[in-house]
Amino acid sequence: MNDDLVSLNNCRILIVDDKAENLELLTSFLEAEGYEVAFATSGKEAINIATIFLPHLILLDVMMPGIDGFETCRRLKSLDKVKDVPVIFVTGKAELSDIVEAFSVGAVDYVTKPIRQEELLARVSTHLQLQALINLRDELIGTLRDKTIELEKLSKLKEQQLETSQQFSHIGEMVGELTHELGTPLSVISTAISHLDDKQKQINQHIQQQTLAKSELQSFIDNAAQSYDIILSNLNNAMNLVNSFKHIVVGEFSGAVTECNLADYLYDIQRVLQPKLKRSPHSVNISCPDPLQITSDAGALSQVLINLINNALIHAFEDNRSGNINIEATPQDDNVILKVSDDGKGIDGEKLDKIFDKYYSTRIGAGGSGLGLYIVKNLVENSLQGSVEVFSQLGKGTEFCITLPKHISTTSENTSST
């Protein structure tokens, strides 16, 4: 289970079978994998236990005293508490009509006896992962929606200080970029689910008309497997983007001093800026030894680097010319040297002397506030307890050289200045 896409620790499984030997066998398989197991010996008992135990998955026999497995599944699917719990039939009945009946009452899979341990565990793991990923997708979409609404509300509040609002101005843009970028995998997921739903309706129609061929059922099963692969792949891509966004934004708002792997953090920044970079001819390249652990204000560091990257995208390059923005991290004794450089047009000496001055901008009146590099210097010297220099030659590009301590002081005297 080390290759699971999501953690299946503490997953609860309900086994329903009237044979004690089957219950013992399945229980031994599942408990060895770390699952929490409950069991029932009849359909009626299964329904009562399921509403209390609230399993993540149900393994259900067909032939039982009282109501059979098919009727048990129908009743489970009518209960709000457990209607979304995936059901796998585990039975000795292998007729096509039984398999069709199982899927028509809401099962997600059908395993025939004698039980093969590896096959059963693989199917259990697959359906638990799929259900967990679907739940996680819904949670991530809800969280993203809530965070977007929260950030929109924050952006509408009266700004107490222009400097503070400018310091976080890129967050709103990143939310918009992230929302747009998530549209592609979520659209693919929606299309795959709609396609699968259409196929399921066709299968149900054939079942009702008693015209379902074995080849059609196999085609549906194969198609469903392909659709699940597409859904899982795109969910994984969306989760990576959301996680990178969360690391950056939470860090910026918290202002907490934390330990992090600098290389991982730089790639998180690159990832959240990728939607913007895809629409420009320029590229961001990272060079950093791994691992390189630092203890710092990660939120302030991301603001500095994003400001410098955005500054290069806006100012460094002539129109229609592609360029490179390079971020190079080098350990040096107790410090880290961060160089953010470009191969753009450079800055002349008169402007270079004023580049960190408050309200100085070559684009005042054209969208420039004159606060971006002033904020960079302020964050580097106060929050990050370091220093920043700039070097430039016309026609050869510009380099910002930031010297940071690997492990900043966390005394109240230093942190209060932020």
Encoded amino acid at 367, one letter: G
Output the pTM of the full model: 0.45
Q: Say what the pLDDT of residue 160 is.
A: 44
Return the closest-CA partner of residue 340 out of 367, 375, 302, 371. Answer: 302
Q: How far is CA 161 from CA 9, 149, 168, in A?
A: 47, 22, 12
289: left (phi > 0), else alpha (psi -120 to 50), else beta?
beta
- What is the β-pairing status of strands 87-91 and 109-112? parallel
CA distance 300 to 248: 10
CA distance 292 to 294: 7
Q: Say what the pLDDT of residue 85 is.
A: 93
| Per-residue model confidence as pLDDT tens for the chain (418 residues) | 445 555 677 899 999 999 999 999 999 999 998 899 999 999 999 999 999 999 999 999 999 989 999 999 999 999 999 999 999 999 999 899 999 999 999 999 999 999 899 999 999 999 998 888 888 888 888 888 888 888 777 656 643 444 555 555 556 666 666 665 666 677 777 777 887 788 888 888 888 888 888 888 888 888 788 877 777 777 776 776 676 666 566 555 556 788 889 998 898 888 878 777 887 888 899 999 988 999 988 878 888 888 888 888 888 888 777 889 999 999 999 999 999 999 988 888 777 877 877 655 655 444 445 556 877 888 888 888 999 999 988 888 999 999 999 998 765 444 433 3
The values of phi and psi at residue 15, to 5°, are: -105, 130
The values of phi and psi at residue 340, to 5°, are: -115, 110
Q: Say what the pLDDT of residue 337 is.
A: 94
Q: Say what the pLDDT of residue 400 is.
A: 93
Work out the end-to-end distance of the chain between its first and last CA atoms, rounded to an integer number of angstroms: 45
- What is the β-pairing status of strands 387-393 and 109-112? unpaired
Domains belonging to the chain, first-starting first, are 12-123 (3.40.50.2300), 132-250 (1.20.120), 255-415 (3.30.565.10)
Q: Say what the pLDDT of residue 398 is.
A: 92
Q: Say what the pLDDT of residue 325 is.
A: 92
